């Protein structure tokens, strides 16, 4: 009896020890795999340890560590390393103004380098800094969480975040930037200017083709004059130039990063916090791969001096290009600065897929679109408003109804356009800070039926960047009408610029007195007689919108 009891005790003891051992193993396994390393950019610490810093004078030591593969997983450099030398971020005009013998020091910047796939959390405040992510040859995903992070490059010459890779089709490694719930994060940066690459052994050939007879050897800071083998070692993606963009004698390939946030490969955003990206120069967020905002959460604001969101690679240049933009957020606002020269709000060289969230897309006035895509725009869910002077068609395969309005009399700064349903309840209202010819609206509130459109009534409500999210009351302004319908199956209006169709024969009716204050110098002979905007299908395009003129 005692012997049996002892055996039972031993068995139970072994079982308990095994269970406890398994729990301990699982705990430490989970800790090792789920542990988040915190990077504090304010004091440049990595998990409470000071990050190693390589100054410009330490470049030879850095290069030795790089070649021997002994660099830390996270470290700081006072330069951006292109795989060959310290990058010298010049503007084109720098050497033109200074002459042929320009000598320039590399831009001194606090560059936090990431060379790991461990989970990282960024917090703190850094001015004059950036984050570089080396994704070459990494075989696991990198997840970066932003926790009340603020980084300002204090320069127009480098991105605030740059994820680089030699191969734009590289998919073994995924970079995801997440915002922590209840945090506010701000990233302000410039761009990495184009570096035209020339093999040193071909210098004479390039010089012979340059009509100005300028020696390329004097411009090695602007033109990346390396040996062919060094060019192969550059860590950044090299892109073939479009011949139409080449200046006389320019090389046929280059590297650059056009946005405040730039990536050579697919880039993902998720999380429940707030992220604001402000471009100091050129685009907001750009990738040479896919760009995805997922999770149906998170609030994003992107302000830029060119395209706010852009996937840049064209499949005609690379048949394996990945260039789709997919958006499913709580809110996303993309606005091109009025001080820019051009810019679409959201520009995809592939498909543009809107799967949810409040999305505001405001392009530069002149010749750009709020939503622009080479391979189709799909609006499947969300509340979307987009304005611009160009209008790309929305795919008839979209899952949510939308309405496209092309104006002959453009709304101007501070004008309010309001759409009412048959019960005179507001469907949407939008107040502009610039002129535009075309407006696209889509939401779950839009249905088959009759609507009316008004301009500049008195409105009481709450708005974000002009888009009224709550309307308490509205007093009718000037009623608008249209002159013709576009293709209801998702085709383009006849005139992408919103110009009116040819006038019918005979003199137009006199313009009512109450319309005189809103013509704003646009076409004075507008005939817009259709005041009922009837949606009969997934989409309807209304052209020639102007103040209602009764015949």
Alpha-carbon gap, residue 401 to 94, rounded angstroms: 51
Same domain as 370, residue 277: yes
Looking at the fold, whether 123 and 171 belong to one and the same domain comes out as yes
State which residues form the domain around 187. Answer: 35-78+109-191+258-375
pLDDT of residue 438: 97
The CB density around residue 148, as the number of other CB atoms within 10 Å, is 17
For residue 88, is it within any domain?
A: no
- What is d(CA 239, CA 192) in angstroms, rounded to the nearest whole number? 14
Same domain, 440 and 456: yes
Indicate the burial class of 203 (C-beta count within 10 angstroms; 0-12, 13-18, 19 or more).
Answer: middle
* Distance, CA of 198 to CA of 89 (rounded, Å): 17
Instruction: State the Cα–Cα distance between residues 369 and 390, nearest whole angstrom.
Output: 5
Total of domains in the chain: 2
* The two three-digit tokens of residue 462, written as one number: 């709450």
Q: Is residue 89 part of a domain?
A: no
- Angle (nearest 5°) at CA 290 between 541 and 330: 65
Cβ atoms of 440 and 394 closer than 8 Å: yes
Whether residues 370 and 389 fall in one domain: no
Alpha carbon of 139 to those of 40, 221, 235, 269: distances in Å? 26, 33, 16, 20
- Pick from 355, 375, 395: which residue ends a domain? 375
Q: List, in order, residues 6 or more apart from 322 with CB less than 8 Å away.
A: 168, 169, 171, 266, 289, 290, 311, 313, 350
pLDDT at residue 302 in the model: 98
- Between β-strands 325-336 and 383-388, what pairing exists: parallel, antiparallel or unpaired? unpaired
Token readout for 269 is 């955003």
- Domain check: are 284 and 422 in the same one? no
| Residues 305 and 392 both lie in one domain | no
What's residue 88's pLDDT? 72
At 152, is the secondary structure helix, strand, or coil?
strand
Taking the C-alpha atoms of residue 147 and residue 121, their distance in angstroms, rounded to an integer, is: 7
Asked if 396 and 349 sit in the same domain, the reply is no
Task: Kindly state whether residues 403 and 345 are assigned to the same domain.
Answer: no
Residues 6 or more apart whose CB falls under 8 angstroms from that of 505 comprise none
Based on C-alpha coordinates, what's the Rg of the chain? 28
Establish if 101 belongs to a structural domain.
Answer: no
Q: What is the pLDDT along the chain (551 residues), one digit of tens a residue?
A: 566 666 666 666 666 666 566 655 554 444 444 568 999 999 999 999 999 999 999 999 999 999 999 999 999 999 999 999 888 766 555 544 444 455 667 788 999 999 998 899 999 999 999 999 999 988 788 999 999 999 999 999 899 999 999 999 888 888 999 999 999 999 999 998 878 787 877 776 665 555 555 556 555 555 677 888 888 999 999 987 766 656 655 666 788 899 999 999 999 999 999 999 999 999 999 999 999 999 999 999 999 999 999 999 887 777 788 999 999 999 999 999 999 999 999 999 999 999 999 999 999 998 899 999 999 999 999 999 999 999 999 999 999 999 999 999 999 999 999 999 999 889 999 999 999 999 999 999 899 999 999 999 899 999 989 999 888 888 889 999 999 887 544 444 433 333 333 333 333 333 333 333 222 334 546 678 899 999 987 778 999 999 997 65
Judge whether 449 lies within some domain: yes
Task: Identify whether 164 is part of a domain.
Answer: yes
Domain contains 17: no
Q: Whole-angstrom Cα distance, residue 125 to residue 112? A: 13
Task: Tell me whether residue 211 is in a domain.
Answer: no
Q: From start to end of 190-258, where are the E strands?
A: 192-199, 223-226, 239-240, 253-257
Q: What pLDDT shows up at residue 293?
A: 98
Strand-pairing partners, residue 54, are 77
Q: What is the DSSP letter of 375?
A: S
Parallel, antiparallel, or unpaired for β 49-50 and 45-46? antiparallel
Domain end: 375, 397, 432, which one?
A: 375
Q: Say how far apart CA 75 and CA 91 lie, in whole Å.
A: 27
Going by C-alpha positions, the residue among 530, 491, 529, 492 that lies closest to residue 509 is: 529
Tokens for 316, please give them: 């005609």
Same domain, 411 and 454: yes
Specify if 232 maps to a domain.
no
Q: Which run of H or E residues covers position 13?
A: helix 2-34
437 and 342 assigned to the same domain: no
**What are the respective helix, strand and coil percentages of the chain, to the nearest 5?**
15, 40, 45
Give the whole-angstrom CA distance, residue 1 versus residue 20.
28
H-helix or E-strand containing 22?
Answer: helix 2-34
- Say if residue 450 is in the same domain as residue 538: yes
- Based on the fold, state whether residues 491 and 529 are members of the same structural domain: yes
Given 331, 349, 375, the domain boundary residue is 375
């Amino acid at each position: 009896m005692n012997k049996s009891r002892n055996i039972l005790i031993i068995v139970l003891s072994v079982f308990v020890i095994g269970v406890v051992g398994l729990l301990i193993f699982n705990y430490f396994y989970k800790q090792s795999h789920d542990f988040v390393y915190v990077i504090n950019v304010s004091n440049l610490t990595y998990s409470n340890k000071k990050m190693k810093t390589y100054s410009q004078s330490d470049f030879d030591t850095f290069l030795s560590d790089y070649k021997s593969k002994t660099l830390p997983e996270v470290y700081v450099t006072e330069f951006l390393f292109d795989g060959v030398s310290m990058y010298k971020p010049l503007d084109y005009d720098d050497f033109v103004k200074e002459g042929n013998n320009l000598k320039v020091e590399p831009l001194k910047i606090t560059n936090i380098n990431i060379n790991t796939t461990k989970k990282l959390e960024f917090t703190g405040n850094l001015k004059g800094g950036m984050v570089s992510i080396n994704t070459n040859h990494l075989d696991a995903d990198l997840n970066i969480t932003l926790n009340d992070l603020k980084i300002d490059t204090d320069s127009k010459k480098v991105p605030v975040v740059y994820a680089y890779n030699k191969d734009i089709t590289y998919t073994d490694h995924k970079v995801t930037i997440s915002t922590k719930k209840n945090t506010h994060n701000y990233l302000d940066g410039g761009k990495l200017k184009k570096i035209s690459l020339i093999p040193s052994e071909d210098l004479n050939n390039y010089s012979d083709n340059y009509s100005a007879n300028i020696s390329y050897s004097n411009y090695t800071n602007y033109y990346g004059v390396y040996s062919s083998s060094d060019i192969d070692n550059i860590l950044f993606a090299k892109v073939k130039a479009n011949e139409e963009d080449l200046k006389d004698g320019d090389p046929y390939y280059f590297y650059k990063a056009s946005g405040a946030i730039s990536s050579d490969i697919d880039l993902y955003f998720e999380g429940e916090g707030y992220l604001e990206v402000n471009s100091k120069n050129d685009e907001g967020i750009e990738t040479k791969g896919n760009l995805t905002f997922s999770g149906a959460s998170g609030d994003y604001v992107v302000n830029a001096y060119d395209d706010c969101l852009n996937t840049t690679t064209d499949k005609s240049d690379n048949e394996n290009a990945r260039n789709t933009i997919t958006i499913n957020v709580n809110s996303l606002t993309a606005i091109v600065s009025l001080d820019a020269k051009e810019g679409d709000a959201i520009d995809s060289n592939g498909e543009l897929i809107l799967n949810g969230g409040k999305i505001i897309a405001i392009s530069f006035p002149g010749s750009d679109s709020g939503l622009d895509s080479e391979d189709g725009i799909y609006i499947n869910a969300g509340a979307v408003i987009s304005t611009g002077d160009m209008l790309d068609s929305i795919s008839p395969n979209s899952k949510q109804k939308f309405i496209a309005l092309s104006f002959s009399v453009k709304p101007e700064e501070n004008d309010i356009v309001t759409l009412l349903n048959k019960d005179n309840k507001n469907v949407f209202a939008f107040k502009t800070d610039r002129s535009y010819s075309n407006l696209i609206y889509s939401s779950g509130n839009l249905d088959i039926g009759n609507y009316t459109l008004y301009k500049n009534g008195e409105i009481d409500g709450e708005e974000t960047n002009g888009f009224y999210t709550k309307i308490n009351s509205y007093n009718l302004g000037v009623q608008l009408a249209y002159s013709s319908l576009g293709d209801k199956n998702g085709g383009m209006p006849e005139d992408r610029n919103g110009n009116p169709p040819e006038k019918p024969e005979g003199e137009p009716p006199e313009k009512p007195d109450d319309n005189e204050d809103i013509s704003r110098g646009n076409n004075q002979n507008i005939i817009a007689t259709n005041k009922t905007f009837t949606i009969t299908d997934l989409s309807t395009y209304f052209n020639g919108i102007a103040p209602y003129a009764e015949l």
